[in-house]
Amino acid sequence: MDLTYNADHESFREAARDFAARYVAPGLSERDAQAKADPAIYRKMGEEGFLGCSIPKKYGGLGLDWHTLAILSDEFEYIDSSARVVISVHNGLHSCALLQWGTEEQKQKYLAPLARGEKLATFCLTEPAAGTDVAGLQAFAERKGDRYVLNGEKIWISLSTVADQYLVMAYIDREKQKNRDHSGIVAFIVERAWKGVKPYELHGKLGVRAGVTGGVAFADVEIPESNVLGSPDEGFRVAMSALDSGRYTVAAGAIGLIRAALDSSVKYCHERTTFKREIGKHQLVQQMIANMVQNRDIGDLLVRRCGWMKNAGLRCTREVALAKWTNTVNAQTAADHAIEVHGAYGFSNEFPAERFWRNSRGAVIYEGTKEIQQIIQAEYALGYRHDGALRCELPGWKPE
């Protein structure tokens, strides 16, 4: 297992870091304070190729390996979680699902424009009364001839009002829905422009305020049979495998947040003096700095292992869940420590520590709460959980 990054990886890191500094950082404080996103940043991400970095060239992507997706998530979240969230939902949850489960026709029609950065996409699983409890979905699509008619509502959807297409999970069998049988769930590719699709934006969020979060209502939306992703009985598997890729980006992004909290704290430690010496000289402050360093390096290794497995074409459901749980919890701790290091100033938006904490709080909830991640790890260890075979596996990486 080779966990080293090569010169191409480091060159890509520099490009991602430069982009984030030039396009995400300017005006960030104002966008965060006003809870206002800037869609122009998303378009620029597409122009630079970031929205298709790990998608094969034949589908319009850059054809880079899976490590680059982690590096991109890390560097974008170093500046702000709102930038990394775009990568999570567009690249991780949606595009990877199309790459893994899509027919050739679906890939050409729906994946290629995403990889080229011409369109945006997101993932629609969560509902007002169903999150972790996926079998409790209320959205339903009734079969009518060669089409399905979808009704329902999804909430806490990133890019809800700006995404051009959604990956939507819904039941198609009332009896299976009643019995909570997730084999009755189907994954649909739905276009925002279709009649009956009604996206909206949520306001008053604690964190990720510089990004778009909202919901989508579906009222008698007609979906062609050709827009079913995978087989009609594979929707749950499509959703869970999509979460594997999404969690990979969240875990990698958490490293960026830990690094940001650490760098901000180290800088302040050298600037602030108490009792006639830098606060970094105080051992309890050093303890918090050391904890951030420890968790940064642990998190980096966990993500690199997942990237190596993905490159090799190996399924990493357990490993990526572990990385997501560990890194997001540690990112929240790092943000909390950063506030403590900054003292009263950490409680103010004069410094970024409070934004780090607000952003970190959501990541321990979305794409699998920290509680469900712990259950997953315990069930693997106890032998209660096993990875069943999938008809379609996410392809490993081959140099192009």
Q: What is the pLDDT of residues 141-181, one digit of tens each?
A: 999 999 999 999 999 999 999 999 999 999 999 999 999 99
- Of 191, 185, 186, 212, which is closest to residue 114 (Cα–Cα)? 191
Q: Given this model, what pLDDT does residue 192 score?
A: 98
pLDDT band at 43 (very low <50, low <70, confident <90, very high): very high
Residue 50 has pLDDT above 90, yes or no: yes
Q: Given this model, what pLDDT does residue 51 score?
A: 98
Q: Rounded to whole angstroms, how far apart are CA atoms 182 and 127?
A: 15
pLDDT band at 208 (very low <50, low <70, confident <90, very high): very high
Read off the pLDDT of residues 296-345 as tens digits, 9 standing for 90 and up: 999 999 999 999 999 999 999 999 999 999 999 999 999 999 999 999 99
Residue 10 has pLDDT above 90, yes or no: yes
- Of 380, 72, 37, 382, which is closest to residue 214 (Cα–Cα)? 37
- Of 96, 180, 89, which is closest to residue 134 (Cα–Cα)? 180
Residues 173/185, Cβ–Cβ less than 8 Å: no
Q: Rounded to whole angstroms, how far apart are CA atoms 286 and 91?
A: 38
Q: Given this model, what pLDDT does residue 400 score?
A: 85
At 127, is the secondary structure helix, strand, or coil? strand
Read off the pLDDT of residues 231-249 as tens digits, 9 standing for 90 and up: 999 999 999 999 999 999 9
Q: Rounded to whole angstroms, how far apart are CA atoms 236 and 208?
A: 28
228 beta partners: 188
Q: Rounded to whole angstroms, how far apart are CA atoms 63 and 55?
A: 5
DSSP notation for 4-45: ---HHHHHHHHHHHHHIIIIISTTHHHHHHHT---HHHHHHH
Residue 189 has pLDDT above 90, yes or no: yes
Instruction: Read off the pLDDT of each residue in 337-366 and give the average, rounded to a whole number.
Output: 98
Burial of 149 (0-12, 13-18, 19+ CB in 10 A): middle
Question: Over the chain, what is the mean pLDDT?
Answer: 98
Instruction: Read off the pLDDT of each residue in 359-371 and give the average, rounded to a whole number.
Output: 97
pTM exceeding 0.85: yes
**Residues acting as catalytic residues:** 367
Read off the pLDDT of residues 218-233 as tens digits, 9 standing for 90 and up: 999 999 999 999 999 9
Residue 78 has pLDDT above 90, yes or no: yes
Q: Residue 244 contacts by C-beta under 8 Å, 6 or more apart in sequence?
A: 315, 316, 317, 320, 394
Residue 391's CB is within 10 A of a number of other CB atoms, namely: 10
Tokens representing 346? 């950490």
pLDDT band at 356 (very low <50, low <70, confident <90, very high): very high
